[in-house]
Amino acid sequence: MIDIPTSGKASASSELGRSLEASSGRIFSRKARLSFYNRTFRIVCIASAVFVCVILFSILFLMGRTGVLTFETVSVKDFFFSTEWVPENDQYGAFIFIFGTFALTLLTMVISVPLSVIIAVFLSEMTPGWLKTALRPILDLLVGIPSVVYGFLGLTVLIPMLRTVTGTNMGDGILAAAIVLTIMVLPTISRITDDSIVAVPRKYRDASYALGSTRFQTIVKVVLPAARSGIMYAVILGMARAIGETMAVVMVIGNTPQLADALFKPTSVLTSNIVMQIANVPFDSTWNYALYLMGFILLIISLLMIVIVRLLQGRGVKA
């Protein structure tokens, strides 16, 4: 036990020093034990960090190594630029899926980012306090809903709705998937944007109002630019979630290997194609390797996004 006398800080630290020196009758002195604990804790922390890195890199390595085997039978050009995905006839063109993934993510962002930013501005700038405390937990809860639930609602509610509204035959396609994904990433993007807007110092707003700006001018010209790096961070987190999402997408996208050149045309993306086929593929086959390679491409895309997030965090407006 460390006994801290009430007389003052200086005497407390000298007391602590003496208690470190004093042997308490055990084999090791208190000082030796403390430094042993400190060093052990340090080693445990470093080991954990190294462990995580090892896991990440071994996943990358194994996926990459298995994926690269694809190129034993399929040429790089065919894999990345051919639109013929007919594994039954040894045709492995993944362009459809790579294109579909980017198209879907882009469409999702086009719908979700403006909506999320408006929600965030409303939450942070216009809502009275009691409503804020009610709305924020609701948005946080939305993040936790399993994606398969979103997918099922998309399949049973959204798609019949799209069908009646637009008069198409099926309704499956990237628009349906983008709407489902938008609902999924809205809470993520709007909550992080909300936080970054709240973090903008009050003096910026005060200065803007003092110059005679309206509330709209203040928000659009001052607050949003000041929170830009936080908003970018939110957008990229949302994108990463949209790119990797599988269960919800597979239920509404139609899963047909054809190019997504229309909003209502059953198509396929990297994630949905992997999950549709991986269970039914012979273990050591080009088909299996091609699916691994597609997974590897997805991983690389997410890693790139994380790198971009880091770069953006480095820059950005600092208060």
Q: Which residues bind other proteins (CB under 8 A)?
A: 86-88, 152, 155-156, 159-160, 163, 169-170, 172, 250-251, 254-258, 262, 264-266, 275-277, 279-283
Q: CA neighbours within 13 Å on the CB side: how many for 257?
A: 17
- In the numeric block, the tokens 């890199």 are attached to 57
Integer Cα distance of 206 and 201 in angstroms: 9
Nearer to other proteins, 256 or 302 (CB): 256
d(CA 14, CA 4): 10
> How far apart (Å, rounded) are the C-alpha atoms in residues 316 and 148?
36
Min CB(149)–other proteins separation in Å: 14
User: Of 96 and 200, which CB lies nearer to other proteins in the complex structure?
Assistant: 96
Q: In terms of CB distance, is 188 or 255 closer to other proteins?
A: 255
Is the distance from CB of 112 to CB of 180 less than 8 angstroms? Answer: no
**Cβ at position 88, least distance to other proteins in Å:** 6
Q: Which is nearer to other proteins, 6 or 89 (CB)?
A: 89
Q: How far is the CB of 261 from other proteins (least distance, A)?
A: 10
Q: Shortest distance, CB of residue 258 to other proteins, whole angstroms?
A: 4
Min dist. Cβ of residue 104 to other proteins (A): 16
Tokens encoding 55: 């896991």
Give the residue with the Cβ less far from other proteins, 278 or 299: 278
